Structure 1
Amino acid sequence: MGNEGQSSVVRRRVFYIPGYDPIHPRRYRELFRKEGAAQAEISKYEIELSAKQGDGPYGWHVTGRMDGHETEADFEVLVWSDIVRESMGLGVIATYVQLARTAWTYIASGALRRLMRLRKGPVIAALYPVVFLLVQLLLALVLAWGIGRGLALIHPWAAWGGLVIVPFVLEWFRKRDSKFFAYYLMHDYAYSAQSKGANPPELEARMGAFADRIAEALQGDSDEVLVVGHSSGAHLAVSILADLIREGRVPERGPVLSFLSLGQVVPMVSFLPQASRLRGDLLFLCQRDELTWVDVTAPGDGCAFALCDPVSVSGVAPEQGKRWPLVFSAAFTQTLSPERWKELRWRFFRLHFQYLCAFDRVGDYDYFRITAGPIALGVRYTGRNASKSRIEMPVNKYTSVGAQ
């Protein structure tokens, strides 16, 4: 890894790759502003957020003053929310067709059964939209049946008129999905399942553009280029970074290259039959010395494959030479006070974003020290042991890999 011994970071470029999220990237700036201020007050350091410096995609600038050092960090959100929104633009009937296809893909391939052997939480999260959408349909049909019974009193054939209410009931639920998240999650899992784990062409093109942005930063004067992949963004980052290294676009004497994966759901994709591109990238990246890769999850996050080594469980870990990722837990039950944990425990989607938020009993994982502090990721966790409770059991049936 270039500049491996460097510990003091004066300038940092941070590239944040969101998960499957249709919301404008300003939400991440506001989250950083709010939670960074809270963590700074708790941990007694300073974080100052200002407008993005220079041109390019959406981002912001941060000055961090910690441990007697001042660090300048330029954040950039690698946006694919437009692709997400387009993939979510289905009507009610099309969504139910999508439901059937997605369920069939995971069940027929055996992926669902094998994923259950890792963590039940994210599998339950995947089943939730299927069950809830079917419940919505059942309620609509029951209501239609009740109305039909009433209409039958007028004329037997009028009973079929009750079915008219079904699309209205389903549309009522769809318009209130911001409370239920059933349609959102259905579209999320369906996006990867539609091609059985292969990246859709529009996503591959966007990932190529992301790689160009990171490659440009690696030619700059920063001390560290840090790529943060959250949720589905983690497996995008794996492939993007693998491509950069494979193509020789990581200079030997350039900035330190670091990769932080948070709340990853890699197995949801890597366990699908056509995900050979991702599995090959996992195999490639885990052996490279051009970067540091740290993977942070928490058993309290029911939407992530907590403490599952994404390389090993995908069945592609080499017999020798595996270096990454360093897998450890954010340990929500320890790093959040009992009062805070009680408040957040059943807010599953909020907990999935806790990695980007403040901890009132912060441990050795602090998102704001990592992104705006004076120590590079690799140096920060030098000598840090992986969590003993991590899962490395290879349970994936599909282990074919793409080009190495």
Structure 2
Amino acid sequence: MRELGFTPPDLAPDDTRLIERRHAFYVPGYDPEARHRYHALFARELGRYAARFEMRLHHVSPLVESADRRTQTWTVDAGLAGRRTATTFEILLWDDMVRRDMARPVLASLLLLLLSVGHSLGTGTLLHLFRLSRRFAGVIPLYPLVVSSILLAVGAGIGSGLTRLVGQPAGSWGAILVAVAAALGFVQLAMPVLDRFFLRQLANDWVFKWQHGNGWREDYTACLDAMAARVAARIDADGADEITLVGHSSGALAVVEVAARVIVLRPGARLSLLTLGAGLPLVALVPRAARVRADIAAVVACDRVVWAEYQAPQDWMNFPGFNPARDLGPPPARVANPLIRSARFREIVDPAVYRRVRRRPFRMHFQFLFANDRPGEFDVFALLLGPRSLRDRVLAPDIVPLREPAGSHP
């Protein structure tokens, strides 16, 4: 693994202002349950965080969904006595697309998975991904591909046994149809169990990224445009001290693409950009993904954006050591982003918990959004709720800056 950490040589000037009001846009990953997950997750984990680190002042408002069901909003007041920050969270939703993808017939999903893997092998993209992270490539796409192939083979074997029972000659059209029907039926019957292990979600996630990289997801491109328009409108209307775009997993690339659009829509605006557990190479390395690479390059070069990227070697579903300023071709003349740091999960997760979850890819992937067990430089609540700007917090990290001494009262 390459060195995990980078500070751009052309970083913007110091940003040490105190933040009293922050507006944070959050883009989820490829998650069919996004609209039901993140407010509850945030409230639960903030409650745990407050109890562990004696943070007395914290209030999470109820969830409010917009009339068009494209956004969800809630507010948080948090901080120390005499130093409070009000943060508005606004989730930019695209889970309807994910659910449509996952509603495909099993045969269509498997065919798309095979086609996308074959195409990625032919273009060299898959081998490049393997060189960057064998574990990521093992989870997406090889895990769903291998498991699906095994299940199809078992189902076909069952079908072959059935053809002998009903007296169909081996190799006849009848025998072939029975074997195919049995294989697909076996996979369909196994799907409720497979869904518990995220097989269908990971398979469709890979296919989605392949399609997006090749420019075949006009619905998603339109969604990114709409997200950028919402951010631009908020810049015009809000008056917040800091506007932050936050993306986890697949949402990390989405917020970079949204930021690139906002740079064009509002040339004078300042943005903070926080990406967690990102999988940018999955799309950016597709040969035809020129628009995606151009969006990333625009954000890399923009000194009005502060982009902080947190990676973790323990997370099987990110690319630790990947630097978009270096690894997507010749760097731009100016490199203002991103600030790359390690989340250092070993330091912030209780050792007993770490031993229990370190081989559970999805659990480790979501650690970026969970409350720390121990104080550490990476602290998602300090980054999003604290009084310091994102740039200042990353360059000069405190250890749990929201901690309040016992006996203190707001």
- Answer yes or no: same fold by TM over 0.5: yes
- Residue-by-residue CA offset, 1:263-303 (whole Å, 9 max, x unaligned): 00000001101110111111111111112100001000001
Task: Tell me how far apart the structure 2 counterparts of residues 159 and 215 of structure 1 sit (CA, whole Å).
Answer: 60
- Matched-pair identity in %: 29
Tell me by how many angstroms 1:160 deviates: 6.2
Task: Tell me how far apart the structure 1 counterparts of residues 80 and 372 of structure 2 sit (CA, whole Å).
Answer: 17
Aligned to 2:199: 182
SS at match of 1:299: coil
RMSD, aligned CA: 2.4
2:361 to 341, 348, 359: 348
Residues 203 and 159 (structure 1 numbering): CA distance in 2 closer, same or farther, change over 3 Å?
A: closer
Aligned to 1:65: 79
Task: Tell me how far apart the structure 1 counterparts of residues 303 and 227 of structure 2 sit (CA, whole Å).
Answer: 21
Residues 145 and 197 (structure 1 numbering): CA distance in 2 closer, same or farther, change over 3 Å?
A: same
Aligned to 2:62: 51
Query: 1:361-400 counterparts in 2 under 5 A?
Result: 361-382=374-395
- Residue-by-residue CA offset, 1:246-270 (whole Å, 9 max, x unaligned): 233543xxxx521000100000001
Residues 159 and 282 (structure 1 numbering): CA distance in 2 closer, same or farther, change over 3 Å?
A: closer
1:194 is matched by which residue type in structure 2?
A: Q
- Residue-by-residue CA offset, 1:143-169 (whole Å, 9 max, x unaligned): 2223333334x9888866853433321
- Residue-by-residue CA offset, 1:336-365 (whole Å, 9 max, x unaligned): 121010121122111111101111123111
Task: Tell me how far apart the structure 2 counterparts of residues 363 and 196 of structure 1 sit (CA, whole Å).
Answer: 36
Aligned to 2:30: 20
Task: Tell me how far apart the structure 2 counterparts of residues 161 and 93 of structure 1 sit (CA, whole Å).
Answer: 14
Alignment gaps of 5+ in structure 2:
1-10, 398-410
1:165 is matched by which residue type in structure 2?
A: A
SS at match of 2:383: helix
SS at match of 1:286: helix
Aligned residues: 378
Task: Tell me how far apart the structure 1 counterparts of residues 23 and 325 of structure 2 sit (CA, whole Å).
Answer: 26
Residues 293 and 91 (structure 1 numbering): CA distance in 2 closer, same or farther, change over 3 Å?
A: same
Q: Is the 8 A contact 1:270 1:278 kept in 2?
A: yes
Q: Is the 8 A contact 1:218 1:250 kept in 2?
A: no
Aligned to 1:230: 248
2:275 is matched by which residue type in structure 1?
A: S
1:275 to 278, 285, 289: 289
Residues 278 and 40 (structure 1 numbering): CA distance in 2 closer, same or farther, change over 3 Å?
A: same
Query: 1:85-100 counterparts in 2 under 5 A?
Result: 85-100=99-114
Aligned to 1:151: 166
Residues 69 and 148 (structure 1 numbering): CA distance in 2 closer, same or farther, change over 3 Å?
A: same
Please tell me whether residue 115 in structure 1 is matched to residue 129 in structure 2.
yes
2:62 is matched by which residue type in structure 1?
A: A
Alignment gaps of 5+ in structure 1:
385-404
Please tell me whether residue 142 in structure 1 is matched to residue 157 in structure 2.
yes
Query: 1:153-302 counterparts in 2 under 5 A?
Result: 162-163=178-179, 164-194=181-211, 196-198=213-215, 200-219=217-236, 220-251=238-269, 256-302=270-316
1:321 to 331, 334, 350: 334
- Residue-by-residue CA offset, 1:14-73 (whole Å, 9 max, x unaligned): 100111111142310011011111112222224221125796721211111237411111
Q: Is the 8 A contact 1:52 1:74 kept in 2?
A: no
Residues 197 and 325 (structure 1 numbering): CA distance in 2 closer, same or farther, change over 3 Å?
A: farther
Tell me by how many angstroms 1:98 deviates: 0.5
Task: Tell me how far apart the structure 2 counterparts of residues 54 and 344 of structure 1 sit (CA, whole Å).
Answer: 33
2:146 is matched by which residue type in structure 1?
A: V
Task: Tell me how far apart the structure 2 counterparts of residues 351 and 362 of structure 1 sit (CA, whole Å).
Answer: 18
Q: Is the 8 A contact 2:344 2:378 kept in 1?
A: no
SS at match of 1:16: strand
- Residue-by-residue CA offset, 1:165-184 (whole Å, 9 max, x unaligned): 33321211223332132221
Tell me by how many angstroms 1:380 deviates: 1.0
TM-score (normalizing by structure 2): 0.86
Q: Is the 8 A contact 1:88 1:184 kept in 2?
A: yes
1:147 is matched by which residue type in structure 2?
A: L
> More displaced, 111-120 or 44-53?
44-53
Q: Is the 8 A contact 1:257 1:290 kept in 2?
A: yes
Residues 311 and 25 (structure 1 numbering): CA distance in 2 closer, same or farther, change over 3 Å?
A: farther
1:132 is matched by which residue type in structure 2?
A: V
Residues 375 and 383 (structure 1 numbering): CA distance in 2 closer, same or farther, change over 3 Å?
A: closer
Q: Is the 8 A contact 1:296 1:307 kept in 2?
A: no
Aligned to 2:322: 308
Task: Tell me how far apart the structure 1 counterparts of residues 176 and 252 of structure 2 sit (CA, whole Å).
Answer: 49
Q: Is the 8 A contact 2:21 2:241 kept in 1?
A: yes
Aligned to 1:395: none
SS at match of 1:309: coil
SS at match of 1:313: coil
1:5 is matched by which residue type in structure 2?
A: D
Tell me by how many angstroms 1:6 deviates: 4.5
Aligned to 1:125: 139
- Residue-by-residue CA offset, 1:81-105 (whole Å, 9 max, x unaligned): 0111112221111112112211112
Tell me by how many angstroms 1:109 deviates: 0.6
Residues 120 and 10 (structure 1 numbering): CA distance in 2 closer, same or farther, change over 3 Å?
A: same
TM-score (normalizing by structure 1): 0.87
Task: Tell me how far apart the structure 2 counterparts of residues 161 and 285 of structure 1 sit (CA, whole Å).
Answer: 53
Task: Tell me how far apart the structure 1 counterparts of residues 169 and 218 of structure 2 sit (CA, whole Å).
Answer: 54
